[in-house]
Amino acid sequence: MKKEEKLFLTIQYQEIDQHTLRRLIQDWLIFVRILFEPRWLALDQANQQSFSLADCVAFLKHAETLDSFSIYVGGGANEASLRLVKGHLLEKHLVTKAVFTENQKMILDYTEVQMKMKGLFASLRSYDEFLFHNVEKMAERRRFQEEAAISQLPKLRRPNGEVVVDCNQFAGYDIFYKGLTLTSCWRMYFSRFYRNVIPLAVIEEVQQVEQSHWISPQVLMIELYQDPFNWDNTSNRGYQRFFRDQLGIDQLAWNNGIGILREPFIEYAYSERMIQTVQYQNDRLQPAEKKKATHFVTRRFDLVNDQQQVKRVRGTLNAQAYFPWVDEQRMKMMNYIVIDPSYALDGGVAAYEYYLRNFLEIEVDLRDGRYQEYLVILNIYVPEEYLAQIPYRQLKEKMTDVKFSRFKKKKEQAFFDLKKDANHLRVNFLQVSALPQLEELSGG
């Protein structure tokens, strides 16, 4: 991989008034001029022009009264930008390794001061690491990666037909969920605004990180390893993946149509005023995949009163851990997933197989009467056009260790039954338009 050896800093701000905006603009300009000498600038998407401090100051003074603006400056291999969109400010800095090494303490201090003021989220990372994990277009990846290496990466098909790299599978991929950035990289700063999606207690207690501490009562800092430029070390890549798994980022959001096809280390349930999490651990009380867990940490976060309850249990999972919707009267247990096979190059075959096995091949205590007696259902919601394209024959040929019933179709629904040893599963395929009516999911 061809490396640029640069440090990439981003800071996101929220709930900014005009006074705070003025202060942030001033800080940004001073910080930039300490790090490097600007040679050019571009204002509000206009073409680059020679840098003029007077022009820059005049523009930024006017920008204080706007609800949207952007400014970019650069000098040599260094760049910086400031962009405001409807009260949300995004600050970026890209500096050489030499500039970062010389100014590391100041850069870290600046980041912490800004986060304490009005910061939402900040990250510092190797720019090479960011590119490797976030560039999906083939032409752009060829600038830093050999064709042979690109050919080995997971792919997906965008709605416009373009085949790109599936960055959802990478540990450092930036995904956005409910207005928040979710990622895993060298240094991250999480503000109190994250508490409505990922409670900060969950982030604070992650294992196998270099540092984890509060820089203020409202901001938590996490550092995964010591040297940001040593990101591709095998151990450091493992820490990056482990952090992402512990937060359950890939259980919350993805944009590849089918998910990441990995077992969760944590699961979330949300209500209007409450978040409940279940963290899975092994006998050493280390984070583990759900099916390998022997210890379970259940947390209930009261968002209104800012309180939490924690319960730790040792044991095994029951059937309801996999099929939480229970209909006692009709003796049915259900769970559901939503996928869009159009993103998958194989038409979704690998994804279908993963989910079928994931919900069929579960270890359930034989004394769990519900599992033995109830109809256990997995509802798979797909776009309407894919309801007539279920790859039943291909799945049956691939899953030779599983018994398939006949494939049956009803109005706006198709289904078949699976059986493996004592395990059983009814698999329903339904139109995604039926998804909101959860209380009516009968299971065929």
- Dmax over Cα atoms in the chain, in whole Å? 78
Output the six-digit token pair for 300.
């209930």
201 and 297 together in one domain: no
CB 308 within 8 A of CB 301: yes
Q: 11 or 15: whose pLDDT is higher?
A: 11
299 and 221 together in one domain: no
Place of tokens 């009814």: 426
159 and 292 together in one domain: no
Alpha helices in 3-137 (DSSP H): 18-35, 53-63, 97-118, 127-134
- Average of pLDDT values for 17-32? 92
List, for residues 47-82, the tens digit of each pLDDT value. Answer: 889 999 998 889 888 888 888 899 999 999 999 999
Q: From CA 192, how far away is CA 220, in angstroms rounded? A: 8
Write down which residue in 201, 226, 252 finishes a domain.
252
List, for residues 127-142, the tens digit of each pLDDT value. Answer: 999 999 999 999 999 9
143 and 168 together in one domain: yes
CB 149 within 8 A of CB 52: no
Output the six-digit token pair for 280.
């899975």
Write down which residue in 298, 314, 330 finishes a domain.
314
Q: 443 or 138: whose pLDDT is higher?
A: 138
State the pLDDT at residue 306. Answer: 86
140 and 187 together in one domain: yes
104 and 219 together in one domain: yes
Least Cα distance to 358 among 432, 436, 258 occurs for 258
Alpha helices in 248-335 (DSSP H): 249-252
CA dihedral 142, 144, 149, 150 (to 10 degrees): -40
Q: From CA 160, how far away is CA 140, in angstroms rounded? A: 18
Give Cα separations from 101 to 127, 227, 394 (angstroms).
14, 11, 55
pTM of the model: 0.93
Within a domain: 248: yes
Within a domain: 196: yes
What end-to-end distance do the CA atoms of the chain give, in Å? 51
- Least confident stretch, 23-27, 93-97, 407-411, 422-426: 407-411
Q: Which domain holds residue 168?
A: 6-16+87-252
Cβ–Cβ contacts within 10 Å for residue 207, how many? 13
List, for residues 251-289, the tens digit of each pLDDT value. Answer: 999 999 999 999 999 999 998 899 999 999 999 999 999
Q: From CA 101, how far away is CA 28, in angstroms rounded? A: 19
Domains in the chain: how many in total?
A: 3
282 and 366 together in one domain: no
Residue 436 pLDDT grade (very low, low, confident, very high; cuts 50, 70, 90): low
CB 283 within 8 A of CB 293: no
State the pLDDT at residue 402. Answer: 97
DSSP letters of 70-82? EEEEEETTEEEEE
228 and 370 together in one domain: no
288 and 372 together in one domain: no
306 and 329 together in one domain: no
423 and 339 together in one domain: yes
